[in-house]
A and B are shown apart, each in its own frame.
Chain A
Amino acid sequence: MADRLNPQRATITIVVNGVQFEARAGDTVASALLALGRRVLRVTDREKEPRGIFCGIGMCYDCLVVVDGVPNQRACMTAAREGMQVEIQEQ
């Protein structure tokens, strides 16, 4: 879905729902997942609607994911780190 503009950057490995993926230095969880083509970052409590990145600057709290076991972390404000465990609540 999305492309990287300078893919030569150093790679790091993040784990998304138990599967290893490649990310780049300087990624947030949101930019890493977008580059992997994953747009759905959570499903809402009430209507079970998909949500993803919206404001991209930490204002809207719509891109919430579980990071290293801690729920409700803003994907757009969380820097991707080597070995980071990200869980996306998809259903």
Chain B
Amino acid sequence: MVIVGAGPAGLAAAIEARRLGVDVLVIDEYARAGGQFYKQPAYPLTDQQRHTLPPQVKEGMQLAARAASMGVKFWFESQVWGLFPGLRLGVVRGSISTEVVAQRLIIACGAHERCIAFPGWTLPGVITPGAAQTLIKAHSVLPGRRTIVAGSGPFLLAVAAQLLKTGAEVVTYVEAAPWSWATLSRFTTHPSRWGELARYVWPLLRARIAPRLRTAVIAAHGKTALSAVTLASLDSHGRPMPETKRQIEVDTLAVGYGFRPSCELTTLAGCAHQFSETAGGRYCVVDRDTGETNVEGVYAAGEVTGIGGARAAFQEGRIAGLSVASSLKHWDDEASQRLHDTRLRRRREQKFADLVSCTFAPPLGLAEFITDNTVICRCEEVSGRAVREAVTAGAHTATAIKMWTRCGMGRCQGRMCGWSIGRYVAALTGSNVESIGISQPRIPIKPVKLQHVLATNPD
């Protein structure tokens, strides 16, 4: 069995299937296991650092070590660039592409950040909250000195807390959703999360940082790098109110509006997808009791099946791993009980995830940040004006916009502009975001060198 992605879902699937005797290969683009949630330090740890690791880093380290000790095979720094009939994967490792034939495939590629374009968002110094976290956790470098954390979602709390812990100045924390401290009372039904919540909220309270709610960064300023941002309060539709604009000097802005499932591989596989704002957008549909997609032999787990957080992803990974083992006739009595328990746990995590995504739902009016001079597509340098003119001329879907303007045709394949396009075009045409669709991922799903692909080595 092949698993793509070594995050919570991928690792959990690998361990369950391996325990029952399945041959497991896990492929990941990064240099080490853990993915984004269990992000592991890239530098060698001292004994003291090893003892003071945050719980989720430690958990990831233990899971990865456990998987490796059980005989799970890992390919790191390996780029899956294509998927072909017969579950054949094209994987670039080093300077050669290898064809891997999977008997069963679990797609656990996770998610990427949801970004909305606004004037100045391409300036160096404007980063995603995930980038801020990666710089701190993996590389131990502060993203900047004076930072604003902005966007929406609970991940912002985690990033703001982390910045404060490392001694960075968090100038303010800006949340677009109509969230409030009182909202936290909704989470009283999930006592297992209180500790986590306290870890995020406490540093903010101690630093006396009051969240600015229903507020957003609507522009970033600077010549060669960020020097200031403009904030504005949002009206009940999420549209910025001009009279509330104010400018703040900062050198770093960490901005993001939650996550979108990374569905490139599930799309190439021909899996069925659905759209839901609470699931983060377009997600791969699976049978929740088995992790099976509608394509034979292909399973999906974790954020690709809808944004639900790491704990849900972990349970989904276990379900998929157990189901694959069962389909390959590797089974024991204990496995039946585990599968049953895991399904119940997953349902509980799903309830929590739904509560989170409803609480922090980014308002629709964010598309109003996009002006004629705003770069929407970072790769192909397509402006808001070009997209607006394409819409006027009759391009009303993401695919049509891509054909017309090249928006979404670049190296990132629409991962960074896709959400903006959906919302902007929906706003201009008065339709819903779902009907705009996506720009279809194409092989190679991430850029690879043709010479590496031509040197394909059948495995």
Interface residues of A (CB under 8 A from B): 1-6, 9-10, 24-28, 31, 34-35, 39-41, 44-47, 49-62, 72, 76-77, 79
Q: Please indicate the chain A residues that have their CB under 8 angstroms from the CB of B379 in the complex.
A: 61-62
Q: Count B-side interface residues using an 8 Å CB cutoff.
A: 49
Interchain CB contact (< 8 A) of A4 among B31, B126, B141: B141
Q: Are A3 and B42 in contact (CB under 8 A)?
A: no
Interchain CB contact (< 8 A) of B44 among A26, A40, A47, A50: A26
Q: Please indicate the chain B residues that have their CB under 8 angstroms from the CB of A34 in the complex.
A: 135, 141, 143
Interface residues of B (CB under 8 A from A): 29-31, 36, 41-44, 49, 112-113, 122-128, 130-132, 134-136, 138-145, 166-167, 224-225, 251, 262, 375, 378-379, 381, 410-412, 415-416, 446-447
Q: Please indicate the chain B residues that have their CB under 8 angstroms from the CB of A49 in the complex.
A: 122, 375, 381
Q: Please indicate the chain B residues that have their CB under 8 angstroms from the CB of A2 in the complex.
A: 141-145
Given contacts A56-B135, A61-B411, contact A40 B144 (CB under 8 A): no
Q: Are B140 and A40 in contact (CB under 8 A)?
A: no
B151–chain A nearest beta-carbon distance, Å: 13
Interface of A is mostly: loop
Number of A-B contacts (CB under 8 A): 140
A80–chain B nearest beta-carbon distance, Å: 9
**Residue of A at shortest CB range from B35?**
A57
A61 to B411, CA, bound (A): 6
Q: Are A55 and B123 in contact (CB under 8 A)?
A: no
Q: Please indicate the chain A residues that have their CB under 8 angstroms from the CB of B225 in the complex.
A: 39-40, 50, 52
Interchain CB contact (< 8 A) of B124 among A3, A24, A40: A40
Q: Are A39 and B125 in contact (CB under 8 A)?
A: yes
Q: Please indicate the chain A residues that have their CB under 8 angstroms from the CB of B132 in the complex.
A: 56
Interchain CB contact (< 8 A) of A47 among B138, B251, B381, B416: B381
Interchain CB contact (< 8 A) of A3 among B49, B112, B134, B141: B141
Q: Please indicate the chain A residues that have their CB under 8 angstroms from the CB of B415 in the complex.
A: 59-60
Interchain CB contact (< 8 A) of A55 among B42, B128, B136, B138: B128
A39 to B127, CA, bound (A): 11
Q: Are A46 and B381 in contact (CB under 8 A)?
A: yes
Task: Give 12 new A-B contacts, CB below 8 A, not counting A34-B143, A62-B412.
Answer: A5-B166, A6-B140, A27-B139, A40-B224, A40-B225, A45-B381, A51-B378, A52-B123, A53-B124, A60-B415, A60-B416, A77-B29
Q: Are A5 and B381 in contact (CB under 8 A)?
A: no
Given contacts A2-B145, A4-B141, A25-B43, contact A56 B131 (CB under 8 A): yes
Q: Please indicate the chain A residues that have their CB under 8 angstroms from the CB of B29 in the complex.
A: 58, 77
